[in-house]
Structure 1
Amino acid sequence: MIISLKRFRLCHFFVFVSIMITYKTLAQNIKTPNNSPAIFLVVLGNVQDAGYPQIGCTKDCCKAYWQHQQTKKLVTSLALVDNTTNQYWLFEATPDISEELQFVQHYTTKSTSFQPAGIFITHAHIGHYTGLMQLGREALGAKNISVFTMPRLQTYLQNNGPWSQLVALNNIHLQKMQADETIALTASISVTPILVPHRDEYSETVGFVIATSRKKVLFIPDIDKWEKCDKSIIAEIAKVDIALIDGTFYANGELPDRDMKEIPHPFVAESLALFSNLPQKDKAKIYFIHFNHTNPLLNSKSKERQDLLLKGFKAADQGLVIGM
């Protein structure tokens, strides 16, 4: 088949334009180190353990993904990046750890190892620790990654496969945490675990206060109800600059085919009522995170998201950068 030179050039022009549009779109979604502070947190994922879209879901929320109207959302995880020492730490080892470790590479100043300097785990539910399996001999083949756990979780990982093999082969090195005891990562960065009530079948559950000399961030992705906690969430919010807190379900009845008492979380609607009298400066600290696939806050155009913003609160989206 003979193609005219004019038509050939026109075809190449449209291919070039298409490539440039795609490149520009990707570039807009990736923040380079030049756009980031020297030390910062970045939200790698913001959904509940089972991800988005969720297995077996035929509701409109997940149909939107399959019909290419929504993008995939990664399971809740943070990276604490220190570009002054070329290190980063993960908070949670999620089922999406492969994509999340790739995501981190866009935020570092140099070629950074896919091995984080350490991993902090809140508890033993599937979205928070099962990504550890990707560190083993079948996958990354990691070397002595420090994994910070509470005592029950440490015992669970040591005594149950496949996690015990990671320990035996020195893919991971377990570091025991104690509630309210601060861990110094560098001269300027520290992490403090705080116990919270949750369905503790295999381990305790903690949140974290991540701190530098400039800023403190509270991270509590999972809790049963605020009133069950020994600490006042309002008092804890007052102590920090940013609070990334459990926003799993927006309201009761969100799962009509399930008993939601079996999977207790503070509904966002309950939290909004609890925080309604906070001063505006404290409301502005609060970012909801860890959204179930049914949560309308995942949709940036939903009336619930707009109402959240009008009330002075925020939803934590993937790629959110918090300078530390």
Structure 2
Amino acid sequence: MKALLLMFLSVLTIKLCAQEPKTPYIMVLGVAQDGGYPHMDCEKMCCKTAWKKPSLSRNVVSLALVDPIAKKWWLFEATPDIKQQLQDFRSKTSEEYPYLPEGVFITHAHMGHYTGLMEFGREVMSTKKLKVYVLPKLKTFLEENGPWSQLVKLNNINLIALEENAPLTIEDSKVTAFRVPHRDEFSETAGFKIETDTKKYLFIPDIDKWSKWNKSVIDEVKKVDIAFLDATFYTNTELGNRAITEVPHPLVSETMDLFQKENKEVKGKIFFIHFNHTNPLLRDATQQKTVLQKGFNLAVQGKIYF
């Protein structure tokens, strides 16, 4: 059973469904926390096997919104793995889409979510006014701090300020940014609601605790079809000697407890994402099975959701 479950999760990272959906859909391009998996300088058991077997590695969390009618797509998060993720998207879609997305939506200024923007600069792609959608504080941060300010000065990117809770129409879909509480050293932190003709998605890869949010995560999940939620840590003992309070996130166990009384349909909408390298859900078939048996899901790199 363990081998079959791991095989199932691995195969989906490299294969797209044989037939592409005919309506807009989401493709997951990464599921790991900011440092990716395996993690830099990690020689513990959690990463040792992945170092030896690259097929087990996972990219930093990222989504693609794909419109198969318009043949356009949008990227969510500019991660340190962006080079690989754009190549993966090209491969999985049989090169039927432009290499670059129509635009990039970014949640916040932590390294796993925006530093991939540097690839659009003159040292690499030297893009021309690529649309980058951000909340106002992040826009100011990028405009006033190098090296990001050079991207703006040279018109490699075109920063577009999003208004909180105001839907933005892109082709036949809508994207709405909203604020969530997180460690906002350089910018506010956004979550996104993505609406297509057929589905509604929730994307919250980073949040401190559900209890700190001015909304009910249960109510918000009920409003959508698929919710990609922060699953950075499974337990509060994963970091060893480092205090987990330095990097607060809702534990997977806490989120499952919060939804314990909800029905199967509501639980089934949740797809955990943004796994830290210490999180056993990246590699432990027993823990993966436990989550699945409780009615929840794990986001799978390379899989499409429609």
TM-score, structure 2 normalization: 0.93
Q: Is the CA contact 1:83–1:108 (under 8 Å) kept in the aligned structure 2?
A: no
Partner of residue 321, structure 1: 304
User: Share of identical aligned residues, percent?
Assistant: 48
Counterpart Cα distance in 1 of 2:66 and 2:54: 32
Q: Is 1:269 aligned with 2:217?
A: no
Partner of residue 97, structure 2: 112
Q: Is the CA contact 1:33–1:108 (under 8 Å) kept in the aligned structure 2?
A: no
- CA offset at residue 312 of structure 1? 0.3
- Gapped regions of structure 1 (runs ≥ 5): 1-24
The code of the aligned residue for 2:129 comes to: N
Counterpart Cα distance in 2 of 1:302 and 1:260: 24
Matched residue SS, 1:253: coil
Matched residue SS, 2:182: coil
Partner of residue 52, structure 1: 37
- CA offset at residue 29 of structure 1? 2.5
Q: Residues 26 and 192 from structure 1, CA distance in 2 versus in 1: closer, same or farther, beyond 3 angstroms?
A: closer
Q: Is the CA contact 1:36–1:321 (under 8 Å) kept in the aligned structure 2?
A: no
Q: Is 1:258 aligned with 2:242?
A: yes
Partner of residue 81, structure 1: 66
Q: Residues 68 and 209 from structure 1, CA distance in 2 versus in 1: closer, same or farther, beyond 3 angstroms?
A: same
Match of 1:199 among 171, 183, 192: 183
Task: Say which one has the larger Rg.
Answer: 1
Match of 1:96 among 81, 106, 111: 81
Q: Is the CA contact 2:128–2:156 (under 8 Å) kept in the aligned structure 1?
A: yes
Q: Is the CA contact 1:45–1:76 (under 8 Å) kept in the aligned structure 2?
A: yes
- CA offset at residue 37 of structure 1? 3.8
Aligned residues: 297
Partner of residue 293, structure 1: 277
Q: Is the CA contact 1:33–1:107 (under 8 Å) kept in the aligned structure 2?
A: no
The code of the aligned residue for 1:297 comes to: L
Partner of residue 71, structure 1: 56
Q: Is the CA contact 2:13–2:300 (under 8 Å) kept in the aligned structure 1?
A: no
- CA offset at residue 31 of structure 1? 1.7
Partner of residue 15, structure 1: none
Q: Is the CA contact 1:32–1:106 (under 8 Å) kept in the aligned structure 2?
A: no
Counterpart Cα distance in 2 of 1:283 and 1:31: 25
Counterpart Cα distance in 1 of 2:95 and 2:287: 40
Q: Is the CA contact 2:25–2:196 (under 8 Å) kept in the aligned structure 1?
A: no
Match of 1:225 among 180, 185, 209: 209
Write out the 4+ residue segments of structure 1 that deviate beyond 4 Å after TM superposition.
Answer: 25-28
Structure 1 residues 126-179: Cα deviation after superposition (integer angstroms, max 9, x where no partner): 000000000010101111110000010000000011101111111100000121
Q: Residues 60 and 161 from structure 1, CA distance in 2 versus in 1: closer, same or farther, beyond 3 angstroms?
A: same
Matched residue SS, 1:106: helix
Matched residue SS, 1:29: coil
Q: Is 1:310 aligned with 2:287?
A: no
- CA offset at residue 240 of structure 1? 0.3
Counterpart Cα distance in 1 of 2:46 and 2:233: 14
Q: Is the CA contact 2:205–2:230 (under 8 Å) kept in the aligned structure 1?
A: yes
Structure number with greater CO (CA < 8 Å, separation at least 6) is 2
The code of the aligned residue for 1:290 comes to: H
Match of 1:149 among 134, 138, 156: 134
- Aligned counterparts, 1:29-48, within 5 A: 29-31=14-16, 34-48=19-33
